[in-house]
Amino acid sequence: MAEQFDPATHPHRRFNPLTGEHVLVSPHRTKRPWLGQTEPPQPTDLPTYDPACYLCPGNARAGGERNPAYAQTMVFTNDFAAVLPPPAPTAPPAPHPLLTTRPVDGQCDVLVFHPRHDVTLPRLAHADMLTVVAEWARVYAARGRQPGVAHVQIFENKGAMMGCSNPHPHGQVWSLSEVPTIPATELANLARYAAAPTAAPSDAPRGPKGCPCLLCEYVHFERSVPANEGRIVVQNEHWVALVPWWATWPFEILLLPYHRHIPSLLHLTDKENDSFARILSAMTKRYDNLFQCSFAYSMGIHQRPVPAPDGVQDDDDDDVAHLHLHFFPPLLRSATVRKFLVGFELMAEAQRDLTPEQAAQRLRACSEVHYLDAPAEVAA
């Protein structure tokens, strides 16, 4: 009597073991018409240099300083930083145990990816992408080893619909005296899994002290699923980009190394950095090709909160971290129709219509040649 369960048809819930939260999946609903607000189209014909851009070489910034004539990347302190350098004043006693205040200090850096105003990550040449990857590692090491820094968060907001005010390709690095909520939760769940794994031992790589790693196990399983049924979008000799089983955003991607347990950017070999740059290029090109637009997203790098101090051996507790990047893109069904994270999702639980498997299938079907570089007949 009972119908066969089909995850591409029947509403269900999936569990995110990194955050401990659920997502409600409503695959039968993908056909509903869109009556809501649409986004303005992204500008496509950007100049290579914009005299009004505060990130272009030689231009003045909000704080009055002038950018150097930089040739590769550029890093500077955010003129409107969310935290300020130490020391922070001591907080007074809480007026009530439920109303606690902890002063936070740290640094907010801006990391400009390239001198050209119009070259986003998917449009970077391989050598330039390698420079960005090296710069992320350099800033992580420099800020993470400053006294008092407990966590370094590298992220990028791309596109006006992600609140990004400037199309010049750049990301940010916020280094704080506290470990923020989400990385702290992920680290706690990684540590919990290492101590009490829920899966039987596999031949996946192991984390520190020979304990299983949640992400090593997860990506190992995903690589065993037949490619046309699974969630992997693209992979190379060290890295996998996949739409995770528990994805919240329509075309969310989790990018991570699979062939060994890698706690941070500083653990990458030259070869792993090279394949990192290649897969970043391959997956962001597919993003742009999906709706033939500059695909908006928020990206974040999760890894060890800060590097081990100089001279300290690896394999300490924080090495339970497994380096990974989250890409959360808002677009849903075209270059101008986005997902809104509102209502039920703000009040109760994340929700999606398109399944992660369907999203991965759509992204796999995209070309790895950027649509702006493709011959006209291919791009059409």
Report, as residue numbers or ranges, the catalytic residues.
170
Q: Minimum distance from CB of 220 to its own copies (Å)?
A: 9
236 binds, among Zn ion, its own copies, none (CB under 5 to 8 A by kind): none
| Interface positions, 113-142, toward its own copies (CB under 8 A) | none
Sign of CA dihedral 234, 240, 241, 247: positive
Position among 186, 217, 319, 353 found at the interface with Zn ion (CB under 5 A): 186
Figure out which of the listed residues 46, 134, 182, 374 binds its own copies, where binding follows CB under 8 A: 182
- Supply the minimum distance, in Å, between the C-beta of residue 337 and its own copies: 10
CB 131 within 8 A of CB 293: no
Asked whether 183 and 165 are in contact (CB, 8 A), the reply is no
Position among 70, 150, 180, 192 found at the interface with its own copies (CB under 8 A): 180
HSE at residue 63, side-chain half, CA atoms within 13 A, is: 10
Residues constituting the chain: 380
Question: Is there binding between residue 51 and its own copies (CB under 8 A)?
Answer: no
d(Cα 28, Cα 33) in Å, to the nearest integer?
Answer: 13
Residue (of 273, 298, 281, 327) closest to 138 by Cα position? 273
User: Which of its own copies, Zn ion, none interacts with 186 (beta carbon under 5 to 8 A by kind)?
Assistant: Zn ion
Taking CB under 5 A as the binding criterion, the range among 63-71, 300-308, 312-320, 334-342 that sits at the site for Zn ion is 300-308
Omega cis (within 30) before 51? no
Q: Report in angstroms how near the CB of residue 326 gets to Zn ion at its nearest.
A: 6
* Number of other CB atoms surrounding residue 293 within 10 Å: 19
Total residues interacting with Zn ion, rule: CB under 5 A: 2
User: Which three-class secondary structure state does DSSP give residue 41?
Assistant: coil
Of 136-144, 228-236, 277-285, 302-310, the window that binds Zn ion (rule: CB under 5 A) is 302-310
Q: Which of 52, 95, 300 is nearest to 182 (CA)?
A: 300
Minimum distance from CB of 93 to its own copies (Å)?
Answer: 11
Find the binding residues for its own copies in span 210-229 (CB under 8 A).
Answer: 214, 217-218, 221, 225
Question: How many residues bind to its own copies according to rule CB under 8 A?
Answer: 96
